């Protein structure tokens, strides 16, 4: 029996020109991940190729889901000692060094996601070609798991594209598309899908030298200049993470600067990072994210192709813009075209910034069709209502819409404050109405709450969750209840912060305590961003406090409503809060403020608003920015206790806001 007949994950074929085509198709999995078994087999492949050398080797994927998604993170659970951590690092480092030293030319043929260890494998090849398709994405996202690229990425990426661009990719985990990969020199070329194999065969036999950084980028890799690059990177890290909650970025910089990107020369640091509680918590957050993505899987249900949005205010207009950005046909309705025009302007700005390619931006804008007469209702697979938060207005709209909906069409509301059960009272088929609650800004916020009522059959909720998945966002199923999950937990948190101001603490001091804890934004800056009038109204609805904080009522009474009026707890200038120097916070202030949020999260689980503690933690992390290194509010409470301080972590979440709208759903 040939050695190849015993391989489970790799297939090797040779063409008449002597090129070997190696296909990774991991057995028993929908995606390619580099498990210990997959890497062991890869070494067997390299043994065979060493014995019978090809003219060139092309490595590709046999999965529709992409190239390689990285290491098998489930194996991280088995790392319990420094020796096991070292073995995990050495496994990939040694294998990819062996690939890099191959005496024949090697090429990674990349289509779809090429992430983490997958990109490190590609970097060990002499050449890389990327498919010029929208789904192609390259990244080293290990920092998001509290670790670093330990299989050669820290060494090879700076040598290939220069330290500034390489450190940016490694410190942010940011994905780049095919166009950007080619522009950086990370890929030798981007190739149309139909020409991939021919281009790969030609390129691997071309005899061209491997790409290397040139000019200044090459000089910056030299040891005397590395210190300058490293110092600048550390300064940027400190600005984003002054409290050092996230050690992985600093470890990346130090390993590149002092050890040429070799983690085996920084053994203690590597072992500590891989085994840390931070990495375990961030791995938990990654799995929570994957669980939310799983909510969007609805096999057999038709995809949403045409969306009709009613209400072109901030929320409605931005929902419509994002749907068109994601490839759907969208009709946008409001009373007249003048009310729709600002939404189109914001959409054009979004597309220009995100798509870069003018033709793609134009195509997205063409998919967003002004429709003041509402002709799109009859053709839409999904109609989203995002008008003002008045029960009578919404119910009147539903009565008018229901006879015009095509069979099987879904009706959704973006409400954040009204009862779904009450809203359904206007419909002949009440269960066709679901809640799809977006957060502002729509383009940045990853979470969307999918709202249903107790006893609902699952199909409408599943279709809504699948639609959220089509948008590249994370659906969180919640039951109809005041504030659902995210707004319900934010209200007591922000109001407790305001009680502290009533007691004499400055807003800057309160906010500084929470950003030191690890929140992306302090609760009072968040309140200013939302709008103090909205916070006041939501606080009355979502908490049982008899009287709102005086600092809140005083400001709203004089019209200081926060960012939108230029003054609230802070003065606002050019979209930024002007903050005075904070005083030293009293001991335990952060715990005092986080406690109401944690307790309300537990209550929402107990009341059945969200199914379990894991989903609640996921919702609060991705909906509010709750410090990911804690593993979520309920995980934090269970593992740290009310009096303990938070530990470190790896990659700060993006600053988050909650949703406000001029004509759409208002809420926290």
Q: Which residues are catalytic?
A: 416, 437, 449, 487
Residue written as tokens 């024949």? 104
Token pair, residue 469, equals 């998945």
DSSP secondary structure letter of residue 85: H
Query: Residue 60: beta bridge partners?
Result: 23
Q: Name the residue among 400, 426, 437 with its Cα closest to residue 664.
A: 437
* CA 577 to centroid of chain Cα atoms: 25
Token pair, residue 406, equals 């095509």
What's the CA gap between 342 and 338, in Å, rounded?
8
User: Which residues 6+ apart lie within 8 Å of 469 measured at CB?
Assistant: 293, 295, 296, 297, 475
What's the CA gap between 623 and 322, in Å, rounded?
18
Query: Residue 139: beta bridge partners?
Result: 115
Q: Are 382 and 467 in contact (CB under 8 A)?
A: yes
What's the CA gap between 87 and 91, in Å, rounded?
6
Residue written as tokens 């906010």? 511
How many other C-beta atoms lie within 10 A of the C-beta of residue 279? 25
Provide the sign of the torsion angle of the four alpha carbons 241, 242, 248, 252, taken in this order: positive
DSSP secondary structure letter of residue 431: G
113-115 and 66-68 strand pairing: parallel
∠ CA 130-24-154, rounded to 5°: 60
CA neighbours closer than 13 Å in the CB half-sphere of residue 197: 8
Q: Is 443 exposed, middle or buried (0-12, 13-18, 19+ CB in 10 A)?
A: middle
Mapped onto helix, strand or coil, the DSSP state of residue 576 is strand
DSSP secondary structure letter of residue 572: E
What's the CA gap between 233 and 185, in Å, rounded?
21
Give the DSSP letter string of 341-378.
HHHHHHHHHHHHHHH--HHHHHHHHHHEEE-TT-GGGG
DSSP secondary structure letter of residue 208: P
What's the CA gap between 241 and 520, in Å, rounded?
10
Q: Are 475 and 468 in contact (CB under 8 A)?
A: yes
Provide the sign of the torsion angle of the four alpha carbons 538, 541, 542, 543, taken in this order: positive
Phi/psi of residue 490, each to 5°? -75, -35
What's the CA gap between 84 and 355, in Å, rounded?
43
Peptide bond into 441 cis (omega under 30): yes
């Amino acid at each position: 029996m040939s050695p190849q007949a015993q391989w489970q994950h790799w297939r090797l074929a040779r063409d008449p020109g002597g090129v070997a085509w190696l296909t990774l198709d991991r057995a028993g999995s929908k995606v390619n991940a580099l498990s210990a078994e997959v890497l062991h087999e890869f070494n067997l492949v390299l043994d065979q190729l060493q014995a019978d050398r090809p003219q060139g080797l092309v490595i590709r994927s046999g999965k529709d889901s992409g190239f390689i998604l990285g290491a098998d993170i489930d194996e991280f659970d088995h790392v319990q000692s420094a020796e096991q951590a070292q073995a995990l690092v050495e496994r990939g480092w040694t294998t990819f060094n062996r690939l890099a030293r191959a005496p024949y030319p090697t090429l990674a043929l990349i289509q779809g996601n090429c992430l983490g260890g997958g990109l490190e494998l590609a970097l060990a090849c002499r050449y890389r070609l990327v498919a010029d398709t929208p789904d192609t994405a390259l990244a080293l996202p290990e920092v998001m798991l509290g670790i670093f690229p330990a299989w050669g990425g820290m060494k090879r990426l700076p040598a290939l594209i220069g330290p500034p661009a390489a450190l940016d990719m490694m410190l942010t985990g940011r994905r780049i598309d095919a166009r950007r990969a080619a522009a950086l020199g990370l890929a030798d070329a981007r190739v149309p899908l139909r020409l991939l194999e021919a281009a790969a065969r030609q390129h691997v036999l071309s005899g061209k030298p491997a790409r290397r950084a040139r000019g200044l980028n090459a000089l910056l890799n030299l040891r005397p200049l590395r210190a300058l690059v490293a110092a600048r990177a550390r300064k940027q890290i400190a600005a984003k993470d002054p409290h050092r909650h996230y050690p992985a970025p600093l470890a990346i910089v130090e390993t590149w600067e002092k050890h040429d990107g070799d983690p085996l020369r920084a053994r203690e640091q590597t072992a500590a990072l891989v085994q840390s509680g931070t990495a375990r918590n961030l791995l938990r957050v990654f799995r929570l994210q994957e669980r939310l993505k799983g909510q969007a899987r609805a096999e057999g249900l038709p995809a949403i192709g045409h969306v009709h949005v009613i209400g072109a205010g901030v929320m409605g207009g931005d929902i419509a813009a994002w749907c068109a950005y994601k490839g759907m046909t969208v009709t946008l309705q409001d009373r007249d075209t003048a009310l729709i025009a600002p939404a189109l302007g914001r959409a054009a700005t979004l597309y220009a910034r995100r798509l870069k390619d003018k033709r793609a931006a134009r195509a997205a804008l063409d998919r967003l069709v002004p429709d003041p007469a509402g002709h799109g209702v009859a053709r839409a697979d999904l109609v989203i209502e995002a008008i003002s938060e008045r029960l009578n207005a919404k119910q009147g709209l539903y009565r008018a819409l229901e006879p015009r909906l095509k069979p099987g069409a879904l009706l959704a509301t973006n409400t954040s404050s009204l009862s779904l059960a009450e809203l359904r009272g206007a419909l002949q088929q009440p269960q066709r109405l679901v809640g799809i609650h977006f957060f502002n800004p729509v383009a940045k916020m990853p979470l969307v709450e999918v709202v249903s009522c107790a006893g609902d059959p699952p199909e409408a909720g599943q279709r809504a969750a699948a639609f959220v998945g089509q948008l590249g966002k994370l659906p969180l199923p919640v039951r109809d209840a005041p504030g659902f999950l995210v707004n319900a937990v934010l209200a007591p948190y922000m109001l407790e912060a305001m009680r502290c101001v009533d007691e004499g603490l400055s807003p800057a001091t309160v906010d500084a305590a929470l950003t030191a804890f690890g929140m992306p934004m302090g609760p009072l800056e968040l309140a200013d961003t939302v709008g103090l009038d909205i916070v006041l109204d939501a606080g009355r609805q979502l908490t049982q406090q008899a009287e709102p904080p005086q600092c809140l009522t005083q400001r709203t009474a004089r019209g200081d409503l926060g960012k939108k009026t230029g003054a609230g707890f802070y003065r606002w200038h050019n979209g930024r809060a002007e903050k005075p120097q904070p005083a030293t916070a009293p001991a335990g202030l952060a715990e005092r403020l986080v406690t109401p949020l944690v307790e309300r999260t537990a209550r929402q689980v107990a009341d059945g608003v969200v199914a379990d503690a894991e989903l609640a933690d996921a919702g609060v992390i991705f909906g509010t920015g709750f410090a990911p290194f804690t593993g979520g509010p309920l995980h934090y409470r269970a593992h740290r206790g009310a009096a303990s301080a938070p530990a470190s972590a790896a990659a700060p979440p993006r600053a988050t806001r909650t949703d406000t709208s001029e004509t759409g759903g208002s809420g926290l």
